[in-house]
């Protein structure tokens, strides 16, 4: 019965795929506060982050959101209206959204489909319409809706997310709705129908390359921490469920965190190498993922900035065709992804998951790459004239990305 119901949902939601008024035609990009600040985010932090996004050039590259995660809440007033913590946000949230908008950026807020959030703050269950109206009146452009403290079944999740989605619609404001139930209930099958423009597909990312455990289901990652490769292994196979207006969300970028203590440092999050950080950026862009920076953009080193500001890899993520790359090769050493682009080019990503540098010779025709005579390396900027075969040398945990064209 469950499979029949899911099939119905797929037919209805994807049948309407091109007819909807898309509020997120390309994956959202911006800064998410959680990994660096945890629940200690303040008004002043948001302002300095916003200014840094502008002065660093990140805003102009498309990172135009500031996402305030858990910890902003100050409870409810006498009329049960949600209020911000007056110590953390003394000027109020309307003043803050006005400031962010004045800098040419958009701003997101956080809540949860239960009485309390993941960090134990006031959440939105039974107050969906009231809270949605507050978010809209304050001027927010995005809502991340978490699922801590909620039942494990998928029927309740669908009902609670649908209720908040309807509440958002009633406000009349275009607010992007991010569903965050960590992939435990296969949201790629129902989240778009329930009003989501993006949906988390796995447990929270930690600042590490790999958990050391072979996981096949999202929920298996909660206990031992999801590294970049763990998340890729799951999200990389969900390409058929993503597209303009509805994105698989493999969670935030850990690029540049370098093992910082806090949420991303839990469960073995000791940090990654710059090669591994660059791989995350490459693979997330190939998968048309939302790009949510979490390092301190006010104090980035040059390597971190180079990774996050690469226009050529960002262009692959933001390509208007909106196709998540298809994984063509998947074994203990290699993962190879192919992504068609709107102008007729094709992007190819080659990841070496082993602990040693290796070469691989690829048959481009078998990968669906034909009638192309040039490859452009998006990281080295080298142009390569194509011959009969395509051999790539890839370092351990490195991802090479090429854009093939005529």
Which is the catalytic residue, given 64, 184, 204, 249?
204
Beta-bridge partner residues of 84: 73
Decide: helix, strand or coil at residue 156: helix
The pLDDT value recorded for residue 7 is 41
Looking at the chain, how many residues does it have?
406
Could you count the other beta carbons within 10 Å of the beta carbon of residue 95? 13
As a dihedral over the C-alpha atoms of residue 180, residue 186, residue 191, residue 193, rounded to 10 degrees, the angle is: -170
12, 193 contact by CB (below 8 A): yes
pLDDT of residue 22: 63
Q: Which helix (H) or strand (E) holds 362?
A: strand 358-362
pLDDT over 70 (residue 20) = no
The region of weakest confidence among 141-145, 152-156, 176-180, 218-222 is 218-222
Closest by CA position to 253, among listed 225, 293, 287? 293
Cα–Cα dist 63/42, whole Å: 20
β-strands 326-330, 334-340 pairing: antiparallel
Report the top-level CATH class of 2-317.
alpha beta
pLDDT at 279: 99
% of the chain residues with pLDDT over 70: 95
Give the model's pLDDT for residue 271: 98
pLDDT band at 3 (very low <50, low <70, confident <90, very high): very low
Identify whether 137 is a catalytic site residue: no
Domain 326-405 has CATH 2.60.40.1180: yes
Q: pLDDT for 154-210, tens place per residue?
A: 999 999 999 999 999 999 999 999 999 999 999 999 999 999 999 999 999 999 999
Whole-number average pLDDT of the chain: 94
- Integer-rounded Cα Rg, in Å, for the chain is 21
Which pTM does this prediction carry?
0.94
Catalytic residue among 39, 64, 146, 230: 146
- Tokens 């920076």 belong to which residue? 293
Query: Tokens in use for 398?
Result: 């490195």
Residue-wise pLDDT tens digits, 268-322: 999 999 999 999 999 999 999 999 999 999 999 999 999 999 999 999 999 999 9
The H or E element spanning position 100 is helix 93-102
E strand spans, 68-175: 73-76, 82-84, 106-112, 142-146
In angstroms, the CA 38 to CA 257 distance is 13
Q: Is the pLDDT of residue 14 over 60?
A: no
Are 372 and 395 in contact by the 8 Å Cβ rule? The answer is no
Q: Where are the alpha helices (DSSP H) in 311-378?
A: 311-317
389 catalytic, yes or no? Answer: no
Give the start-to-end residue ranges of the domains of the chain.
Answer: 2-317, 326-405
What is the Cα–Cα distance from 350 to 392, expressed in whole angstroms?
8
Neighbours of 86 (CB within 10 A): 10
User: Where are the strands (E) in 166-325, listed by range?
Assistant: 176-179, 198-200, 247-249, 291-293
Supply the DSSP string of 12-70, one letter for each residue: HHHHTTTTS--S-SS--EEEESHHHHTT---HHHHHHHHHHHHHTTTGGGT--EEE--S
CA–CA separation, 29 vs 64, rounded Å?
Answer: 6
């Amino acid at each position: 019965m469950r499979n029949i119901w899911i099939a119905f949902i797929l037919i209805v939601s994807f049948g309407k795929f091109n007819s909807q008024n898309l509020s997120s035609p390309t994956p959202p990009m911006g800064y998410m506060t959680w990994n660096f600040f945890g629940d200690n985010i303040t008004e002043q932090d948001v302002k300095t982050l916003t200014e840094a996004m502008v002065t660093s050039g990140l805003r102009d590259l498309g990172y135009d959101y500031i996402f305030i995660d858990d910890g902003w809440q100050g409870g409810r007033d006498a009329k049960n209206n949600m209020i911000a913590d007056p110590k953390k946000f003394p000027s109020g949230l309307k003043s803050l959204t006005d400031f962010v908008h004045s800098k040419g950026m958009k701003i997101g807020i956080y809540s949860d489909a239960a009485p309390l959030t993941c960090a134990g703050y006031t959440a939105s269950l039974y107050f969906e319409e009231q809270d949605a109206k507050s978010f809209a009146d304050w001027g927010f452009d995005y809502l991340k809706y978490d699922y801590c403290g909620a039942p494990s079944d998928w029927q309740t999740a669908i009902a609670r997310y649908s209720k908040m989605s309807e509440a958002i619609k009633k406000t009349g404001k275009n607010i992007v709705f991010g569903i965050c139930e960590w992939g435990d209930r296969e949201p790629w099958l129902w989240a778009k129908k329930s009003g989501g423009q993006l949906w988390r597909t796995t447990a929270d990312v930690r600042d590490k390359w790999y958990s050391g455990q072979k996981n096949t289901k999202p929920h298996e990652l909660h206990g031992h921490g999801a590294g970049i490769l763990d998340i890729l292994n799951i999200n990389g196979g969900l390409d058929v469920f993503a597209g303009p207006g509805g994105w698989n969300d493999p969670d935030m970028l850990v690029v540049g965190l370098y093992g910082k203590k806090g949420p991303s440092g839990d469960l073995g999050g000791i940090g990654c190498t710059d090669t591994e950080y660059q791989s995350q950026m490459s693979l997330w862009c190939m998968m048309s993922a939302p790009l949510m920076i979490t390092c301190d953009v006010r104090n980035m080193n040059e390597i971190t900035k180079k990774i996050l500001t690469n226009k050529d890899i960002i262009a692959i993520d933001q390509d208007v065709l909106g196709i998540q790359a298809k994984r063509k090769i998947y074994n203990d050493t290699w993962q190879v992804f192919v992504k068609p682009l709107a102008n007729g080019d094709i992007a190819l990503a080659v990841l070496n998951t082993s602990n040693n540098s290796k070469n691989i010779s690829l048959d481009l025709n078998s990968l669906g790459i034909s009638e192309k005579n040039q490859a452009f390396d998006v990281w080295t900027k080298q142009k390569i004239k194509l011959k009969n075969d395509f051999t790539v040398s890839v370092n351990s945990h490195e991802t090479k990305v090429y854009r093939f064209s005529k």
